[in-house]
Amino acid sequence: MREHREHAPLSRRDFLGRTSAAVVGGGAAIGALSAGAKAMAEAAQLDKTAVVKRRLGRTDFQMSHIAAAWDWSEFLLPDAVALGINYLHKINWLPHVPPPLAKLDRAAWYCDATIDTFDEQGILDQFENALKALGLEYIDAMKLHSIYSSVEDVKTRTGVFKAFETLKKQGKVRHLATAQHGKDAAAICVACIESGSFDHIQPAMSVVMTPEQLNLLEVARKHDVGVITKKTLHAAAMVKREADGLNQQQRQRREELRQALEPNLGAETKIGAAVIKTMLKLPGVTAVTPLTQNYEQLNDNLANGGLQLARREETLVETIKAACADMCVYCGECHHACPQGIPISNVLRYAAYNTLYAEPRRAKAQYAQLPAAHRVSACQDCGGCEKACPLQVPVRAKLRHAHSLLA
Ligand code: SF4
Ligand code: SF4
């Protein structure tokens, strides 16, 4: 877990005040409790409908509609867990099990650990290391970390399935999952689902979707495979972030967007919650992993009052969709068109890490790992990517901007 106090404009007190639908008059009793118990007691008074449990496909686990992640700030976890958030993704990216989860009955929460190799022994080693480091008897899901490059890989890379079966027989894992982004992401996810081996998947997906992504949701629903979407709040975050690093035209567009959204915003109409509820209305989507680094973001993402979309929230999302119609959704459909092999969606994702996540070091380090021949500087300006993009994203301009941020 990380410390992101520099991004915590909303204090815990503000958070509790704003999140609670009806804070009861129990201040004296709460005051007598220890700090940890007090936090739990305060959170217990929060609106219970702020977090909703949903069945994660055929795993049958009742997961919170929001999944926490390894990069959530540590100070958010006690409140998040007390509210009912019970899924932690990429647990093996942490040095230990977060204490608020460790205190719970093990069956009450769910985690996945990522695997980044196809090699059977390598997978066994990675998984055993994670179990040992975390002191866990089992990890709920072994999640392939976007390692497939093609649909064919799903059929031929059988070491994954052998290692998973070994670990499952030993009681060290229960489910197989994959997160996938980049080239052919939707087709690869469909192949994973149709293989019958995967219990849940984690694609990048937001309110602006490609036909392939919509088809993926339909296939997942038919096979009862859970879908936890990632990168879902990029559009929303784009509206809210300060305009650092943007050029004049981009600043102006951001300002226009803010002005268009303003009339629909209010205490009960929040951008994050509206986007999340919209995603969760789609048949097939179980939950989202939203960007959450401070109380302001946590509060924005919580769906106080349940998942029913209010009219103003629908209007809010329509405005975001219209404003972000040219936003990259990391579908990877354009990768085939690039003669230079530039991993376009990955480069644009790194730019988002830089700007939206305010993680320039991580973004630059990932971009630096690309071979020089596949960086934006190798672009021939042929325009093939823009013809291939189903969403009319101005790819070249976005790539140039990404390069200026990351190089
Ligand atoms: S314009 Fe550049 S990034 Fe786009 S397909 Fe051509 S070479 Fe690739
Ligand atoms: S630029 Fe278009 S085709 Fe390429 S990843 Fe983004 S949304 Fe998909």
Test site for ligand 1: of 381, 386, 403, most ligand atoms within 8 A of the Cβ: 381
Return the pLDDT at 30. Answer: 34
Return the pLDDT at 277. Answer: 93
If one counts every other C-beta atom within 10 angstroms of the C-beta of residue 108, the result is: 12
Distance 30 CA to ligand 2 centre (A): 51
Among protein residues, the one whose CA lies closest to atom 3 of ligand 2: 389
Ligand 2 proximity of 330 Cβ (cutoff 6 Å): yes
Return the pLDDT at 246. Answer: 59
Test site for ligand 1: of 379, 387, 392, most ligand atoms within 8 A of the Cβ: 379
Among protein residues, the one whose CA lies closest to atom 3 of ligand 1: 379
Test site for ligand 2: of 327, 335, 395, most ligand atoms within 8 A of the Cβ: 395
Return the pLDDT at 16. Answer: 56
Return the pLDDT at 241. Answer: 61
- Name the residue ranges covered by the structural domains of the chain: 5-323, 335-406
pLDDT tens sequence for the chain (407 residues): 554 433 445 556 565 555 544 233 333 333 333 354 445 445 545 566 789 999 999 999 999 999 999 989 888 999 999 999 999 999 999 999 999 999 999 999 999 999 999 999 999 999 999 999 999 999 999 999 999 999 999 999 999 999 999 999 999 999 999 999 888 999 999 999 999 999 999 999 988 888 999 999 999 999 999 999 998 887 677 666 655 555 676 677 767 777 777 777 776 778 889 999 999 999 999 999 998 888 888 888 888 778 999 888 898 888 888 777 678 888 898 999 999 999 999 999 999 888 777 788 989 999 999 999 999 999 999 999 999 998 888 999 999 999 999 99
Question: What is the number of the ligand 2 atom nearest to the C-alpha of 345?
Answer: 5
Residue 341 backbone dihedrals phi, psi, to 5 degrees: 65, 30
Q: Is CATH 3.20.20.100 what the domain over 5-323 is classified as, yes or no?
A: yes
User: Which ligand neighbours the alpha carbon of 183 most closely?
Assistant: 2
Ligand 2 proximity of 333 Cβ (cutoff 6 Å): yes
Return the pLDDT at 242. Answer: 55
Return the pLDDT at 6. Answer: 35
Beta-carbon-side half-sphere exposure of residue 384 (alpha carbons within 13 Å): 14
User: Which ligand neighbours the alpha carbon of 208 most closely?
Assistant: 2
Angle, vertex CA 362, rays to CA 85 and CA 92, nearest 5: 45
Distance 383 CA to ligand 1 centre (A): 5
Return the pLDDT at 379. Answer: 97
Distance 288 CA to ligand 2 centre (A): 20
Return the pLDDT at 89. Answer: 95
